[in-house]
Structure 1
Amino acid sequence: MTSPNAPGGWRNPFHKIAIAVEEGEDDRLPLTVADLKTIFTSRVYAGAKRPKGGRGEAAFWFPLISMYTGARLEEIAQLYVRDLQQLPNENLWFFNIMELPRLHD
């Protein structure tokens, strides 16, 4: 969004902020409609069946959070409950996803 004013009369606080992207960092293709149908008609959603072995709730929440935020699965996996935050005196919730240094850079 390049306009300082977002839809609904909201102001875009990131209007003049540019994000540095490393060259060749994200060459993945977006999910197709067929991919989304496969995910959201799976037993996890349609049959309310969660896989065992620690992936149960993640199998449900990771695709939803990814779809709505655009976050990568690796970013979602490192979130804690405390990373879901609300702006003071606002009904605006967000995930506080912080970039951490890579171990093998």
Structure 2
Amino acid sequence: MQIDLKPNEMVVKAGNSDRLENGSKIDGKFIVTNQRIYFKGLNGNAGKYDLEIMPSDIREVHFVNTGFLSPNGLNLILKGGQEFRFRVKQRNSFGELINSMY
């Protein structure tokens, strides 16, 4: 898996992630750079569920539970109303980093 970084863009934090959509779990990588947020799908989902989110498009970041006692979810709500939910390790540090970007 490879992402094409823009000029002067560098990866700040990255980790394994699942994108949770319509009851499905899409394995991938959650990547935060100094300019944007990426989700890149893996295992046959490469390209199909990829996302690129600009910090200026984010309205809210919610910390959510992905299971009964699983405090490992992030819900990104964009200004246009779209919501993207992810399961990530180190949810708090990812969430704080994203909150500092917009």
| Shorter-normalised TM range | under 0.3
Could you state the TM-score of these two structures normalised by the residue count of structure 2? 0.28
Higher strand share: 2
Higher RCO structure, 1 or 2 (CA under 8 Å, sep 6+):
2
